[in-house]
Amino acid sequence: MKYAWIEAQRARYSVTMMWSLLGVSRSGWHAARVRPASARACSDAPLIKQIGRCQRQHRGHYGRRRMPHAVRHVLGRAINEKRVRRLMRQAGLQSRMRPRFRVVTTDSKHTHPVAPNVLGREFKASAPNQKWLADLTYVPTAEGWLYLALILDLFSRKFVGWAMRESMPQALTLEALYMALGWRDPPVGFVHHSELVPV
């Protein structure tokens, strides 16, 4: 590619300057000028064939980053990532992105009875332990997903209860509620708002 560009720009720029800027050696440039154009195409043909084979074997999920290793393993010689990218583009091969793993924490199509929304989007409280919000989140760790149930006091905006587990059973949200009840001992009639339904 560099050699072809130098050849095309010879009338406009100094050849020695282009060699220097593009990091091309004089001998390499002269060798490329006398080398037949079909030589590279012939050496690319088996690579394209092997790349296509790897694409089918890995269901189209291998791209330019993982493909050089796979091809090198089969052919027994190194291959440049840039060359792989060029050959894949030339052959019309493109890697398919895997959909991101999405954790489902709630099920809105459940058959459980639904309590009335007493909170009514009134997210302000005039005193502690009047209104609590409960939610569930998940955190990726080196050992897998960690599920975290939280209870927030709307007055202080502080967490009053929480629980963590590697799985997401109904007991997880109850543990967070029991912790909050043990710490705060709220009055009768306080609002505990939660949209959590076990999946």
Q: What is the pTM of this model?
A: 0.44
Q: What is the DSSP letter of 186?
A: P
User: Are residues 14 and 59 part of one domain?
Assistant: yes
Q: What is the predicted pLDDT for the residue at 110?
A: 66
CATH of the domain at 116: 3.30.420.10
74 has pLDDT over 80: no
Q: b vs e for 110-140, b when ≥16 Cβ sit within 10 Å of the residue's Cβ? A: eeeeeeeeeeeeeeebeebbbbbbbbbeeee
User: Are residues 64 and 120 part of one domain?
Assistant: no
Tell me the C-alpha distance between 87 and 69, whole Å: 15
Q: Which of 50, 65, 91 is the last residue of a domain?
A: 91
Q: Which of 35, 61, 91 is the last residue of a domain?
A: 91
User: Are residues 105 and 60 part of one domain?
Assistant: no
If pLDDT is split at 50, 70 and 90, which confidence band does 103 have?
Answer: low
Tell me the C-alpha distance between 171 and 163, whole Å: 9
Q: Which of 91, 122, 154 is the last residue of a domain?
A: 91
Query: How many domains does the chain fold into?
Result: 2
Q: What is the predicted pLDDT for the residue at 199?
A: 43
Residue-range definition of the domain harbouring residue 147: 99-199
Q: What is the DSSP letter of 119?
A: S
Q: What is the predicted pLDDT for the residue at 173?
A: 83
Query: What SS3 class is residue 9?
Result: coil
